[in-house]
Chains A and B, each alone.
Chain A
Amino acid sequence: MSARSNRRAWLSGAASAAMLLAASAASAQPAASSAAANAARDPRAAAVVERMAETLVAAQALRVEGDIAWDVVQADGQTLEFGATRELVLRRPDRLRADLVLREGGERRLFYDGRQVVLHDPVHGVYAAIERSGPVGEVAAFVAERLGIPIALAELLSPDLAALLSEKIDAAHYVATETLDGVACDHVALRGAAGGMQLWVGTKDALPRRISITYEHEEGRPQFRARFADWDLSPRVPDATFVFDPPAGAEKIAFAVHGAPAPKEGPR
């Protein structure tokens, strides 16, 4: 399969945005469902997802702010919403910074400077660092899988993402053109075994504006929602943004690492 067709296949799996789909716990989707899934993938919806992916891939650096929220169904059946704001700065190939501020207070900051991953909790005055190098996507997978830090859907960073998505996505549909915060967006609905996801992608800039995931099989059908704003695909980002400088008095602690020690890996 050519790189182009490979990309097409990947995207036709409702893809990069569908980055948010997949990896259902029901990982053993019947193979027969693939044919049905292909039939249920609206080309217009796939095109929206593809264009969004191309836009993100083309950006050598980016900065985005946003708000995330998640429902938690309480014991008495009431659904409460919790959330956080965050800022993400990415510079390819191996720089990342993500700051999170919870609505209830509390902060955490993730740094990756191409040499180490640092998680800093300024509220508790602690940080942990672990040596790591390589492309940010691979490091993100390490953070999720070995450090157990929940990078949602990190499994989608797998090199086998195309096959994974192809198996997991049952349907992709174009819903409508809608306006969010004054921005015209393509509203796309994707569906997998665990539930449904909606994407709102800017019709002009092809950037994701909003994501909503509904856990249809969970009690109370809770949702996860993310709203992206202030996209900047050409930010001026100094190196210091990605480098952690321990504050005075901060206590260095360790990461618990899942599994056996990994061989030291250099840049790939």
Chain B
Amino acid sequence: MSRPTLRRARALAAFVALAFVFAGVADAQRRGGGGGGRSGGGGFERSGPAAHGSFSGGGGAARHSGEGRAAMQQRASGSARQGQAAQQRGTNQATRQQSASGAQQSRQSQQDANREDWQQQQGAMQEDRQQQQKDMQEDRQDAWDDAADDYHGGVYYGGNVHVYDSGDVAAATAIAVGTAVTVGAMQRMTTPTASAPAPCAMNSVVVGDATYYHCAPNWYQKAYVNGELSYVSVAPPPGF
């Protein structure tokens, strides 16, 4: 088998299983309602790190915007942890030095000091590990929240999402760049509450082959954003 053929075969083999776990997340997120699918019916979270079936610790499309930040935060956190580790090493060294000076005392005192040292070190290391775990969890949660906040605000990927007017990406014209609102969020925007009217009423207009949705003053078209059905902000259709 030639190398290119082999490579394709491997990719296919991998894809067999990979494709099998595709897309469940986006659906789960979509069904989770608005806000990027962070919560759904009954107030339960329906998506999380494990929903992606990924060994990366839970990346996934809905978190793309947070990935850069997450990576940076992880790096920053890693640096912080390195600092903590260095500090811990310094502490350990100081402790060892204290132990060395304790060697001038009686053997019993030495043993007691060593035991206390060891216990202190173990305690400090345990605390350090727990703090690192906590830091990592907070970092991940922060990244997740940042991504979700972006989504809630309708700002998506800082303008890196492109929606085209045709399936031929190379030849198509971008009709929208940068903003999207989930179906769930849009439903909330267009649904009155007991205490307040809806921020806007949704109307649709068909122009040519395209359907535009008007939630004054903004115009939208539906699109799949990360596999999630969304409303993407667009320019008003001709004549409106």
Chain A contact residues, CB within 8 Å of chain B: 3, 6-7, 10, 16-17, 19-26, 53, 56-57, 62, 64, 66, 68, 70-75, 80, 82-84, 86, 88, 90, 92-93, 96, 98, 100, 102, 104-106, 108, 110, 116, 119, 121, 124, 126, 128-131, 135-138, 140-141, 143-144, 147-157, 159, 161, 168, 192, 194-195, 197, 208, 211, 213, 215, 217-219, 222-224, 226, 228, 251-264
Contacts and interface: CB of A to CB of B under 8 A. Distances in A.
Interface string B130-156: 000100110010000000000000001
Interface residues on B, range: 35 or more
A159 B223 CA distance: 30
- CB-based closest 8 A-B pairs: A137-B11, A148-B226, A264-B170, A152-B53, A222-B50, A148-B61, A149-B227, A19-B14
Interface stretch (B39-47, B87-95, B104-112, B194-202): B39-47
A20 B27 contact: no
Name the prevailing secondary structure of the A interface residues: mixed
Contacts of B31: 102, 104-106
B102 interface: no
Nearest to A138: B11
B6 interface: yes
Contacts of A223: 50
A102 B26 CA distance: 11
13 contacts: A70-B24, A70-B48, A82-B51, A93-B8, A100-B22, A104-B31, A124-B183, A149-B61, A224-B53, A253-B229, A258-B64, A262-B169, A263-B170
Interface of B: 1-3, 6-28, 30-31, 41, 44-62, 64, 70-71, 74, 133, 136-137, 140, 156-157, 160-165, 167-172, 174-176, 180, 183, 209, 211, 221-227, 229-230, 232
Given A194-B55, A219-B137, A222-B49, A121 B171 contact: no
A73 B24 CA distance: 17
A198 to B, nearest CB: 12
Given A96-B19, A102-B27, A226-B20, A72 B50 contact: yes
A195 B222 CA distance: 37
A237 to B, nearest CB: 14
Contacts of A92: 12
